[in-house]
Amino acid sequence: MRSRLPSREPSRCSGGRDGGGASQGRESVPASRHQRRPTLHPGAWWLWSLGLATAASRTTNPLVLALLVAASAYVVATCRSRTPWSRSYSAFFKLAFAVLLIRLVFAVALGSPVPGTHVIVTLPEVPLPHWAQGIRLGGRVTAESVVFALYDGLQLATLLICVGAANALASPARLLKSLPGALYEIGVAVVVALTFAPNLIADVQRLRAARRLRGRPDRGVRGLLQVGLPVLEGALERSVALAAAMDARGYGRSADVPARVRRTTTALTLGGLLGVCAGTYGLLTAEGGTYGLPVLLAGVGAALAGLRLGGRRTLRTRYRPDPWGPRAWLVAASGGAVAALLTLASATDSAALHPGVVPLTAPVLPLWPAAAVLLALLPALAAPKEPS
């Protein structure tokens, strides 16, 4: 019995021949399907998060710090994509909580230089030798010292959370493509370090889910020990695969440049870094306020020129570079505006942004610094959704 095969005659919509039909089929696809989805430059996310971190470093008010954390969390929840590095934000939250807890434990166990009159508890004090003067183990624990440690720990925890927001929003691989050529090797090392923690967290979650499906324990010391070995094995395999991929792509190649160009690059880079250090020192001291800003600007210019010349030694091309558009300017400017306004508020109204603990008073929420923190929510409206 002979089966009837479908006819290979050209249909009306195929344009006659197979090649012509395929060509017309490709031409009939809308151009929008081949266009890239709008994405935001990863450097804009880092500038935004560093602006929030700078603002957090200018205050110890727990209410303002809580606003910064809430703003970063809302932007991350709105703009992050389904990628391995986007899951690292919760890990930074846990790390921040651990830092805060350690700071409080140190304040209770080792004491605090802040004097206080409201005694919470009196712990047994361990006598120390004379060479350990100024260090105390145990003794009185006052409310003033605990509140001071709480404010200090909240500031550091907020800094970690703001940096974690950049790790969750910016793609490390895309950030590497945007670096200057002179920083490519350093950028590769930084990207590998940044991607290690998210991939490690993803491996732990995957192995714990697999153990739960098999009815095996995934918590406690036993579960941690049984999950740790496959995680380390996977990390080693990724390292070997990454080294092989980098070697196959010619990582470490350098172009031949004249000796005078190399010497000029070295002089500009070292001189620029020294100028940045001297200018920063001048801005931080009262004596160097006159020469600090010019030296800093000259150092930055020399360092940028050195990086520009140093990029000639790196032979690489960029496939589909990320454009820096108006949305990236808005996101970066929102973080910079928050940092500038909080710095100004810290200089003009230091009592509101640095509540005192002696005497112990409740912190108040300053109105216009709080309104300035709300500018950090602008990326939730301006930034496009990242592709999953």
What's the confidence (pLDDT) of residue 266?
80
What's the confidence (pLDDT) of residue 4?
44
What's the confidence (pLDDT) of residue 184?
65
What's the confidence (pLDDT) of residue 74?
93
Nearest-angstrom CA–CA distance, 177 and 342: 32
What's the confidence (pLDDT) of residue 29?
39
Q: Would you call 123 helix, strand, or coil by DSSP?
A: strand
Question: pLDDT tens, 312-350?
Answer: 666 666 667 777 888 889 999 999 999 989 988 888 888
CB 83 within 8 A of CB 167: no
Question: pLDDT tens, 103-154?
Answer: 988 888 887 777 777 788 877 777 777 776 667 777 788 888 888 889 999 9
Question: pLDDT tens, 27-56?
Answer: 443 444 434 455 788 888 889 998 999 899
Mean pLDDT of 198-206: 74
- The closest alpha carbon to 303, from 331, 276, 281, belongs to 276
What's the confidence (pLDDT) of residue 311?
67
What's the confidence (pLDDT) of residue 62?
92
Q: In this predicted model, which residue has the larger pLDDT, 214 or 68? A: 68
- The closest alpha carbon to 104, from 68, 55, 154, belongs to 154
Sole residue written with tokens 């205050």: 59
Structure tokens at 109: 């166990």
Sole residue written with tokens 């005192």: 356
Phi-psi region at 308: left, alpha or beta (left = phi > 0; alpha = psi -120 to 50): alpha
CB 149 within 8 A of CB 107: yes
Mean pLDDT of 5-27: 39
Question: pLDDT tens, 219-274?
Answer: 767 666 777 777 777 777 777 777 677 667 666 666 677 778 778 888 888 888 88
Concatenated DSSP letters of 231-263:
HHHHHHHHHHHHHHHHHHTTTT-B----HHHHH
What's the confidence (pLDDT) of residue 66?
94
Instruction: Name 311's Cβ contacts closer than 8 Å, sequence gap at least 6.
Output: 180, 181, 182
Sole residue written with tokens 């800003």: 293
What's the confidence (pLDDT) of residue 309?
75
Mean pLDDT of 141-170: 89
What's the confidence (pLDDT) of residue 318?
62
Sole residue written with tokens 């060479």: 131
Domain boundaries, the chain: 42-254+323-382, 257-313
Length of the chain equals 388
CB 218 within 8 A of CB 202: no
Q: What is the CA radius of gyration of the chain?
A: 28
Share the mean pLDDT of the chain.
Answer: 76
Question: pLDDT tens, 170-187?
Answer: 877 677 666 666 666 666
CB 158 within 8 A of CB 103: no
Nearest-angstrom CA–CA distance, 282 and 340: 19
Structure tokens at 81: 């994509």
Mean pLDDT of 93-100: 92
What's the confidence (pLDDT) of residue 18?
40
Q: Would you call 141 helix, strand, or coil by DSSP?
A: strand
What's the confidence (pLDDT) of residue 254?
63
What's the confidence (pLDDT) of residue 198?
66
Mean pLDDT of 176-203: 68
Which DSSP letter does residue 5 get?
A: P
